[in-house]
């Protein structure tokens, strides 16, 4: 028998059993950019408690820099770090078809101690008012979304607001398929979304994101009409680079 801890808990100043105002779910492969993502969570201006749930979908040691950052978290933020001894993704020999985290988005959403859940990938970041503005927009609704700013990964230069991809229901280049919202721009009421949460694991690639969005898009939702999420565009992102080369207006 092998024994060992699968997770680490970094508590806040409140009762762990009491509900949080917002939860943040982050599937990760522990790339260095995760530190930047988490720092943007720690800068949030939300007046309330935030629970961060980080899931690592592969057996990896925790980087010392990450532990140092978590030790400096604000008093209103707790962090659960879950590291599995195996991967749930088919990409690494697991059983779930989603290649970007396997079943972790579904698992961590169920584990969240808040009914309102936002999603942050480990290569994206948020403006300080991201959670507070979405929390206001989702009140009394099933979900809410904001826009996103496209940012060059290498230089950090802002390329422009995404006005054609992650732009909401029945809009943008995915309009004929019902539109789309990137997970980094979403906040959901998970009690409403219970029947659709497994869709996060159905992949492959972005297909799981679109499948999940299709399950919630017809429900009542709120909208923050400004870019509060920052989406890193990599040099090998053929879609964005092709559109920018054509001079497409964002």
pLDDT digits (tens, 9 = 90+) for 96-149: 666 667 788 999 999 999 999 999 998 899 999 999 999 999 999 999 999 999
Class at the top of the CATH hierarchy for domain 7-141+184-224: alpha beta
Backbone angles phi, psi at 193, to 5 degrees: -85, 5
Range of 23-32, 57-66, 194-203 with top mean pLDDT = 23-32
- Residue 48 CA to residue 140 CA, distance in Å, equals 18
What is the CB neighbour count within 10 angstroms for residue 82?
19
* pLDDT top residue among 198 and 92: 198
1 pLDDT more than 90: no
- Residue 12 CA to residue 24 CA, distance in Å, equals 14
71 pLDDT more than 90: yes
Cα separations in angstroms, 139 against 1, 106, 188? 47, 22, 10
Task: Specify the pLDDT at position 58.
Answer: 76
**Inter-residue contact 51 to 81 (CB < 8 Å):** no
Task: Specify the pLDDT at position 250.
Answer: 41
Cα separations in angstroms, 198 against 39, 111, 169, 230? 29, 13, 21, 26
**In the chain, what percentage of residues exceed pLDDT 90?**
64
7 pLDDT more than 70: yes
Task: Specify the pLDDT at position 205.
Answer: 61
The two structure tokens encoding residue 246: 């054509």
86 pLDDT more than 70: yes
Task: Specify the pLDDT at position 9.
Answer: 94
Q: Tokens 């990409």 label which residue?
A: 91
Bridge partners, 7 (sequence order): 82
pLDDT digits (tens, 9 = 90+) for 11-50: 999 999 999 999 999 998 888 999 999 999 999 999 999 9
The two structure tokens encoding residue 186: 């979403």
Q: What is the tally of helices (H) and strands (E) in the chain?
A: 7, 12
**Inter-residue contact 46 to 135 (CB < 8 Å):** yes
242 pLDDT more than 80: no
Please report which residue ranges of 27-140 form alpha helices under DSSP H.
33-42, 64-71, 104-111, 130-138
Q: What are the sequence ranges of the domains in the chain?
A: 7-141+184-224
pLDDT digits (tens, 9 = 90+) for 145-171: 999 999 988 888 898 999 889 999 999
């Amino acid at each position: 028998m092998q024994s060992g801890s699968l997770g680490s808990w970094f508590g806040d100043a409140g009762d762990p059993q009491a509900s949080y105002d917002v939860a943040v779910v982050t599937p990760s492969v522990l790339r260095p950019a995760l530190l930047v993502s988490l720092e943007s969570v720690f800068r949030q201006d939300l007046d309330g408690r935030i629970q961060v749930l980080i899931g690592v979908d592969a057996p990896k040691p925790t980087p010392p820099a990450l532990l140092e950052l978590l030790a400096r978290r604000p008093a209103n933020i707790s962090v659960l770090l879950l590291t599995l001894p195996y991967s749930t993704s088919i990409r690494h020999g697991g059983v779930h078809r989603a290649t970007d985290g396997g079943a972790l988005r579904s698992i961590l959403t169920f584990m969240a101690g808040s009914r309102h859940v936002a999603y942050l990938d480990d290569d994206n970041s948020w403006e300080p008012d991201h959670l507070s503005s979405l929390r206001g927009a989702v009140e009394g609704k099933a979900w809410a979304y904001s826009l996103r700013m496209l940012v060059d990964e290498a230089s950090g230069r802002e390329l422009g607001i995404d006005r054609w991809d992650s732009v909401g229901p029945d809009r943008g280049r995915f309009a004929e398929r019902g539109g789309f919202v990137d997970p980094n721009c979403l906040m959901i009421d998970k009690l409403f979304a219970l029947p659709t949460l497994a869709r996060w694991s159905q992949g492959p690639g972005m297909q799981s994101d679109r499948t999940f969005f299709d399950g919630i898009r017809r429900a009542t939702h709120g909208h923050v009409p400004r870019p509060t999420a920052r989406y890193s565009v990599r040099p090998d992102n053929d879609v964005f680079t092709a559109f920018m080369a054509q001079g497409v207006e964002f």
